Structure 1
Amino acid sequence: MKLESLRKNVEFKTVYKRGKSFSNNLLVLYKYKNKKNDNTNRLGISVSKKVGNSVVRSRVKRLIKECYRLNQQNFNVENFDLVIIARTSCKDRTYKEVEKALINIIKKAGLYNNEESSNLHD
């Protein structure tokens, strides 16, 4: 299963417009089934300037990307475009808190494999 990044504004807008959204106190997730048939998932991470300065925003992006990468084997995601939006409450959180929020939101979206439901990383 390959993972690519959503980069273009048009791609983000398509996911916002046509996708389905799920949220919790730290993150918002938009999922949209893409038209590719090569098991490619595309992940976009959006962090507003309201969250903090560039250093804070970059840290939040790295945390979200790393949480996704380490838990990817538990996600039942194929041919989806996912956009994860960090809320302002995300800026002072630890890795564990962000990971828990990401797993929670993926479960809400129905994209989590229930076989190893409590396999959190240290």
Structure 2
Amino acid sequence: MKKSESLKKNEDFKTVYKTGKSYANKYLVMYIAENNLDRNRIGISVSKKVGNSIVRHRITRLVRESYRLHDDMFNSGLDIVIVARGNAKGKSYKEIESALLHLGKLHGIMREKISF
């Protein structure tokens, strides 16, 4: 099983914003760039405009958990930055999960779920 790690450096985020491709839906914006590694790196950004720290942290947790549970469906070797929009405030896990999977399909980085 491949391990995903986080994007932490501001330069990494800027590189993905500048060179990556983006798609958006009602709740999230997803930027994708290749990283020439054998694993994905994910970064989550939630602006202060979305809400206070409690709201922002909850959205971050929902996005991270949605990605973690569907990690095996994403292609490897990508830097993924997910930006939460204001409409994501107060949404359920299922709505955020659905938005994340929708963006993955738009980017064409999803593969069929591996079943054992």
TM-score of the aligned structures, taking structure 1 as reference length? 0.89
Q: What are the ranges of 5 or more consecutive residues in structure 2 without an aligned counterpart?
A: none
Question: Equivalent residue for 1:120?
Answer: none
Matches within 5 A, 1:88-103: 88-103=86-101
Superposed displacement of residue 73, structure 1:
1.6
Give the secondary structure class of the aligned counterpart of 2:104: helix
Distance in structure 1 (CA, Å) of the matches to 2:72 and 2:21: 22
Matches within 5 A, 1:25-40: 25-36=26-37, 39-40=38-39
Distance in structure 2 (CA, Å) of the matches to 1:66 and 1:99: 9
Question: Equivalent residue for 1:42?
Answer: 41
Distance in structure 2 (CA, Å) of the matches to 1:78 and 1:99: 19
Superposed displacement of residue 35, structure 1:
2.7
Question: Equivalent residue for 1:112?
Answer: 110
**What percentage of residue pairs aligned between the two structures are identical?**
52
Q: What are the ranges of 5 or more consecutive residues in structure 1 without an aligned counterpart?
A: 117-122
Distance in structure 2 (CA, Å) of the matches to 1:81 and 1:42: 5
Count of aligned residue pairs for this structure pair: 112
RMSD value, Cα: 0.9
TM-score of the aligned structures, taking structure 2 as reference length? 0.93
Question: Equivalent residue for 2:14?
Answer: 13
Distance in structure 1 (CA, Å) of the matches to 2:70 and 2:93: 13
Segments of 4+ moved more than 6 angstroms: none
Question: Equivalent residue for 1:54?
Answer: 53
Give the secondary structure class of the aligned counterpart of 2:95: helix
Distance in structure 1 (CA, Å) of the matches to 2:43 and 2:53: 17
- Report the AA paired with residue 19 of structure 2: R
Distance in structure 2 (CA, Å) of the matches to 1:73 and 1:18: 25
